[in-house]
Amino acid sequence: MAQTVGLETTDDPFGRPLDPVLSTPGAPVRRYRRRPALIGLGAGLLATCGAGAAYLAQSSGDTVPVLAVTDTVHRGEVLDAARLATARAAPDPALRPVAASELSSVVGRRAATDLPAGTLLTEAALTTADVPASGQSVVGVAVTEAQLPQAELVPGDHVRVFGTPNPGDAPPSEPPRSVAATVVSVSDVLDSGHVVVDVVVDDDVAGTLVAKVATGRVAIVLDSAGSEVPGGDDR
């Protein structure tokens, strides 16, 4: 009588037969070999990262406190403390930003050019020129918005103030006369509905402009930003 010999296995405590392949003793264990090149690469990356962090820390320590404008300042406007803030910047001999410690000497000076919000102040952007200068006068021109160009007027704009005819009059046979001026400041709209535009004119035509403005029949014309102060008819 033939006997059948089966593969002998050992059951686990839960009654499940164990996989004979997994339970076979003496299975070889795979060993991973260390690679010196990869270890060296990792060490190099760590060193590079450390050097970069050290450089950033050192760079941040090299910055100095300087002054910047918090909102747009137009050419000719006076700077006050409320429009200035302290920022930090790396020292740059080519830029020469104004140090924050110079705040008191900056307040009251005028912008020599338009300064967008966030601009760092430099000495070249400031001026101590008086307004009005010798031989000039400041005249306030009160007009309605209908007598102004739609484009916003800002300090430094070159304008001409024209006299206009009475409402209902026939068009004049000759072009109206004008006074050349430079804008110093522009007020908000007053309760009367007027806007006051302060302009600088030559002092020999200040009286002529005042007489025109007193009639209420004037209009302001904005001239090219790139041109010199235009010549008016009444000079």
Per-residue pLDDT tens over the stretch 116-146: 999 999 988 888 877 788 899 999 999 999 9
Residue tagged 């402009």 (tokens) = 209
Q: Residue 69's beta-bridge partner residues?
A: 84
Q: Count Cβ atoms within 10 A of the Cβ of residue 120 and give its class: 0-12 exposed, 13-18 middle, 19 or more buried.
A: middle
Q: Which of 133-147, 162-176, 207-221 has the lowest mean pLDDT?
A: 162-176
CB 196 within 8 Å of CB 187: yes
pLDDT at position 11 is 52
Q: What is the pLDDT of residues 28-77, one digit of tens each?
A: 555 555 566 656 556 666 656 655 655 554 555 588 999 999 999 888 88
Gap between the Cα atoms of 2 and 212, Å rounded = 136
Q: With a threshold of 0.85, does the pTM exceed it?
A: no
List the domains of the chain with CATH numbers.
Answer: 35-129 (3.90.1210.10), 136-222 (2.40.30)
Name the nearest CA neighbour of 213 among 228, 224, 223, 199: 199
Band the pLDDT of 209: cuts 50, 70, 90: very high
Instruction: Name the pLDDT band for 227 (thresholds 50, 70, 90).
Output: low
Label residues 46-57 b or e (16+ Cβ within 10 Å = b): eeeeeeeeeeee
